[in-house]
A = this chain, B = another copy of it.
Amino acid sequence: MNDIKVFDCTIRDGGLVNNFHFKDDFVRGVYNTCVEAGIDYMEIGKNNSPSLMSIEEFGAWNFCIEEDIRRIVGENNTDLKIAVMSDIGRTVNSELLEKKDSVVDMIRIATYIHQIDEAIELSTQAHAKGYETTINIMAVAKVNEKELDEALEKLALIDVDVIYIADTFGSYYPTQIAELAQKYTAIASKVGKQVGIHAHNNIQLAFANTIESKNNGVTFLDVTISGLGRGAGNCAMELLIGYLNNPKYKVTPVLDFIQNYIVPLEKELDWGYSIPYMIAGQLVQHPRNAMKARDEKDTKYLEFHKKSLEEN
């Protein structure tokens, strides 16, 4: 139980809803909530390179420049650790500061399986610079088992602290997540590494799959406040805190943030369960069509289903 780490991704996953255009007041609200609620890690955004994308268009938290982070967290003299996500292909490794010059504690590396060697290189470099690291293999539901096993065996040998199961398509049922968790933890535990779970709520199983992962040895549990995240959203922090029932974690700061920040945000942004995302989850498809349908408020679900079937 003491190994459990509750990992907040509100800004990073929420940033996919609004292109990372959160105001400082909101980001600071999430930070203060995480500190007061006893959350272990907060992922404050991505560290994409400004040499590759425009900050005006893609928002400050898509880049996480050191001075932006410090404007929110100062020196971060708290028990909350700060993480940023590195997307393979959108970061420039040499831009990563030495840990001693940064308030960031952890680099989380999001990679597709075909980029695993680049992810390993980045993890090794980030580790050498003094950071904790994770590698999150995305789109696992479409990776063949042998290839996955080989990738996991590679990761067991390198400098990475946590290997993440990422349910990119929001398609897994609890029994499937249990099998994956057993596979990951069997490999990771032999070499003293941890396993994490990042679930999506396309078929209303983000919370259930997070619980199921924990019951199978997964210790890093990703959440967002009120499930904020693209489309169907994520495992809700307030649900997981209630479940863990550990006095270390407090639900009242989370409720406070929800009533003051999420209730107004719900009038501006749209996330949560919806039929197009459910269909994408059931068919193990990337939600790009669901994103479009939702943006256009298209409720011709029969047609959406028919077109989705044709893509399979």
Contact = CB atoms under 8 A, between A and B. Distances in A.
Contacts of A207: 203-205, 208
A299 B208 CA distance: 26
Interface in A138-157: none
Given A242-B203, A272-B273, A275-B238, A263 B299 contact: yes
A205 B208 contact: yes
A191 interface: no
B302 A239 contact: no
B275 A208 contact: no
A255 interface: yes
A272 B271 CA distance: 13
Copies of the chain in the assembly: 2
Given A203-B239, A204-B239, A205-B208, A305 B175 contact: no
Contacts of A174: 174, 208, 211-212
A302 B259 CA distance: 8
A312 to B, nearest CB: 13
A258 interface: yes
Contact of A259 (B211, B252, B301): B301
Nearest to A300: B259
Q: Give the contact-size bracket for chain A.
A: 35 or more
A275 B301 CA distance: 28
A215 interface: yes
Interface string A201-228: 1011111100110010000000000000
Most buried by B among A212, A256, A305: A305
A258 B239 contact: no
B204 A242 contact: no
B215 A175 contact: yes
A283 to B, nearest CB: 9
B302 A238 contact: no
Contacts of A273: 272-273
A34 interface: no
Contacts of A173: 211, 243
B255 A302 contact: yes
A11 interface: no
A102 interface: no
A290 interface: no
Interface string A262-301: 0100000000110100100010000000000000000111
A236 interface: yes
Interface of A: 173-175, 201, 203-208, 211-212, 215, 236, 238-239, 242-243, 251-252, 255-256, 258-259, 263, 272-273, 275, 278, 282, 299-302, 305
7 smallest beta-carbon distances between A and B, as pairs: A208-B208, A242-B282, A255-B301, A259-B301, A263-B299, A204-B207, A255-B302
7 contacts: A174-B211, A175-B215, A203-B242, A204-B207, A259-B300, A259-B302, A273-B273
